[in-house]
Amino acid sequence: MTPPPLGMLAELTHRCPLQCPYCANPLEMDRASAELDTASWQRVMTEAAELGVLQVHFSGGEPTIRRDLLTLLAHARDLQLYSNLITSGVTLTADSVAALRDAGLDHVQLSFQDSQSAGGDHIGGLQGGHARKLTAARLIREAGFPLTANFVVHRQNLARLPDMIALGEAMGAGRIEIAHVQYYGWGLLNRDALLPMPDQIDRADAVVAEARQRLSGHLVIDYVTPDYYAARPKSCMGGWGRQFMNITPSGRVLPGHAAETLTDLTFPSVRDASLAQIWQTDPAFERYRGTDWMAEPCRSCNRREIDWGGCRCQAFALTGDAAATDPACALSPDHAVMAAAMAAPRSDDFTYRRIGGAPAAVTPP
């Protein structure tokens, strides 16, 4: 029997006031008319709790756009699920934050695009967005929520990493996530605009190491060196179908948020089967679960149950073979594509994330 998942990402909607060019949502997004209704989300959460899910991350798009968010949060509380709201913060008001607290929300993760307005508003594509996030941070802390400040970093903002950490401290965050852009979907489309230079990454590693030491016991900093500059791949989602499931706005169940980029797999829907059936028997969840699917060099590698071969979506996007070793690994025969991308010329121009806004034919760089 497959061990049950620990966490579920509930992508309530793809609608969002921001247009960040590295959005984790797919290039082809779900429209509002395709979204699951309230009763379906409630059923999915009930099934998730019965299956063994402990934490639900309400995400999007911007999850606060859903009018039934409070109803869904209250349902999570009734099921003893730990609830996390992953928000841009730009829609929050004192009243709405108080309502979130009353509905039983446990934790807020607030995203930032930069430490200052010029860069933040440019990347987010929303004039005044950064200032609204600062207000949201204050309201969240005043309401007594634990706060994670999430800073997505890339070539155009890494120079301000020390300021981002200082901002996280100043707003009273208990955790700071320094998240390098992940280069799938929109991120891959905009890779030449966002991929950091090697010296920027070296400096970022040093800044984080210093801050972690200084803030130990007061504030946790989550940070991972980006794939394009690593010798070993990350354990993507803790392994395919091992710990997490992701529900898209229209009800598709995925082992990870970019899984729909694997064009040879068909993913199940909560409209057709229970989460338990899906988790335990669906062929798409079985496909890369465990280690049996691996070829060399993963198959005999002593890290195969540490990194689980890295990311299937990255392997497919960069090599055309989803069952290949993640090219982030120095042992991958395709590892040179990472160095080639790092050496490629950069540009400041990017395509904003918009529903229906992806180029008709997307050729990965």
Binding site for another protein (CB under 8 A): 4, 6-7, 50-52, 54-55, 80, 82, 84, 106-107, 109, 144-146, 148, 174-175, 177, 216-217, 219-220, 222
- And the tokens for 333? 């025969």
Nearer to another protein, 174 or 297 (CB): 174
What CA–CA distance (Å, rounded) separates 186 from 164?
Answer: 23
Contact, 209 vs 319, CB < 8 A?
A: no
Task: Name residue 244's beta-bridge partners.
Answer: 7
CB of 106 to another protein, least distance (A): 6
Residues 16 and 338: their CA atoms lie apart, in Å, by: 31
Q: Where are the alpha helices (DSSP H) in the chain?
A: 38-51, 69-78, 94-102, 117-124, 129-142, 161-170, 185-189, 191-194, 198-215, 275-281, 283-287, 304-307, 312-319, 336-343
* Closer to another protein by Cβ: residue 49 or 72: 49
Choice between 228 and 285, CB closer to another protein: 285
Residue 56 DSSP SS3: strand
For another protein, which is the closer residue by CB, 147 or 189? Answer: 147
Question: Which is closer to another protein, CB of 148 or CB of 325?
Answer: 148
Dist. CA 38–CA 48, nearest whole Å: 15
Tell me the closest approach of the beta carbon of residue 11 to another protein, in angstroms: 16
CB of 100 to another protein, least distance (A): 13
Q: What are the distances in angstroms from CA 12 to CA 63, 218, 247?
A: 6, 32, 8
CB–CB of 318/337 below 8 Å?
yes
Rounded to a whole number of angstroms, the minimum distance from the CB of residue 58 to another protein is 13
* CB of 222 or CB of 321, closer to another protein: 222
How far apart are CB 302 and another protein at their closest, in Å? 24
Smallest distance, another protein to C-beta of residue 110, A: 12
Kindly give the pairing relationship between strand 82-87 and strand 55-59. parallel
CB contact set of 327 (below 8 Å; sequence gap of 6+): 314, 315, 318, 319, 334, 335, 337, 338
Q: What are phi and psi of 65, to 5 degrees?
A: -70, -25
Q: How far is the CB of 238 from another protein (least distance, A)?
A: 11
Our CB check for another protein shows the closer of 15 and 57 to be 57
